[in-house]
Structure 1
Amino acid sequence: MPTDTEIIAATRTWLEKAVIGLNLCPFAKAVHVKQQIRYVVSPATTPEALLEDLLAELRALQDADPGQTDTTLLIHPHVLGDFLDYNDFLDIADAATAEPEFGDALQIASFHPQYQFADTLSDDIENYTNRSPYPMLHLLREASVERAIAAFPEADAIFEKNRATLQALGHAGWKKLGLDKSRP
């Protein structure tokens, strides 16, 4: 099993080459360049332990200065490796952000090595927009998301643009990115 340092390095490489490099998220580059992303590797081996880590990281993000930490990637390589289990856990994760202590100020985006959108086949290239080297929960501040969307008027077109980008890239192009861990 890779070390936490190696897991974070693989995640950063994926962020730089896929998310930023392919411009899958036009908001990611700024927080990356400003070093406002907190990378946390959870030691959790059960969904219950992951929920505890998630709650702790939601609290940490809520309490952090946004100028220092604007977003958190909670990477959990030891639990929810099966995408269907992970997908089921997302309901629990969303319920956690809805807790009164967070005041609707946080949200979660989902990434997984086997990510699969509804109505797609497991190997369809558009699934790769959300395929990361390890299962992870991306914790975001609602205020940051709102500012980013306001600065990017075509935000509702990002998903379709990403699908087109990946369809043009194809599996061969994805493989050339050297992100083989992202491919099951």
Structure 2
Amino acid sequence: MNYIPPTPACEDVKRWLDTMVIGHNFCPFARFVRDQQRIRYVDIASDDMAEVLTGLRAEFDHLDETPKTSTTLVVLPLGWQDFEDYLLLVDVAQQSLEHWGYEGCYQLASFHPDYLFDGEPSGAASHFTNRAPHPVIHIIREAEMEQALAHHADPESIPQTNIETAESLGKKALQAQLDACKHRD
């Protein structure tokens, strides 16, 4: 495996993973793969959709060839700050995943600095469960996710627990934590 030096954006996402995702247990499975060093961070610094899709395809290939890597967090620090543009990219990425024959093998999760759940008030703290310091497309091995869910006492309760956690912490505190994850020159 080639060593890729961490970029500032990837370091931001690592801080976010530790501080918010693991720190608030928004994903009860993240600590294990982080502690086992099975997370790959890749920075695709492009605002061109075709380039991002090419990078995603390369990550699917990498995961195919490297079973030791559980998951990849694809960090998109440039050009995807508009949430609607980002959602279009995620939709095209999902279609590409299916077109490339990876449905059932990998799934995508999405995180964005301005993430909004459809149907939730824009000021709801619950949005912070999917907010990250940069736009991120998370590639997850479906088999590993199914295995993790099978060992969780009540996987259906995870979203509601996350909402309750976010609401108890409050939007102001969560925004401050998210802001603190970002690299400052």
Q: Normalised by the size of structure 1, how large is the TM-score?
A: 0.89
**How many residue pairs align between the two structures?**
178
Displacement of 1:20 in angstroms is 0.2
Once the two structures are superposed, what CA deviation does each residue of 1:138-175 show, in whole Å capped at 9, x if it has no partner?
00001011001101131111111000000000023324
Please point out which of 31, 35, 38 is paired with 2:37.
35
Displacement of 1:5 in angstroms is 2.2
1:174 aligned to 2:174? yes
Q: Report the AA paired with residue 41 of structure 1.
A: D
Q: 1:106 to 1:160 in 2, by over 3 A?
A: same
Distance across 1 between alignment mates of 2:170 and 2:134: 21
Q: Report the AA paired with residue 44 of structure 1.
A: S
Gap regions ≥5 residues in structure 1? none
1:26 aligned to 2:28? yes
Displacement of 1:47 in angstroms is 1.3
Relative contact order, higher structure (CA 8 A, sep 6+): 2
Displacement of 1:70 in angstroms is 0.5
Q: Normalised by the size of structure 2, how large is the TM-score?
A: 0.89
- Alignment match, 2:92: 92
Q: How does 1:29-178 map to 2 (within 5 A)?
A: 29-65=31-67, 68-102=68-102, 104-175=104-175, 177=177
Distance across 1 between alignment mates of 2:175 and 2:88: 29
Distance across 1 between alignment mates of 2:136 and 2:81: 10
Displacement of 1:50 in angstroms is 0.8
Gap regions ≥5 residues in structure 2? none
Q: Report the AA paired with residue 34 of structure 1.
A: Q
> Is the CA contact (8 Å cut-off) linking 1:47 and 1:80 kept in structure 2?
no
Q: Report the AA paired with residue 180 of structure 1.
A: D
Instruction: Tell which deviates more after alignment, 15-24 or 76-85.
Output: 76-85
Q: Report the AA paired with residue 133 of structure 1.
A: P
SS at match of 1:102: coil
SS at match of 1:143: helix
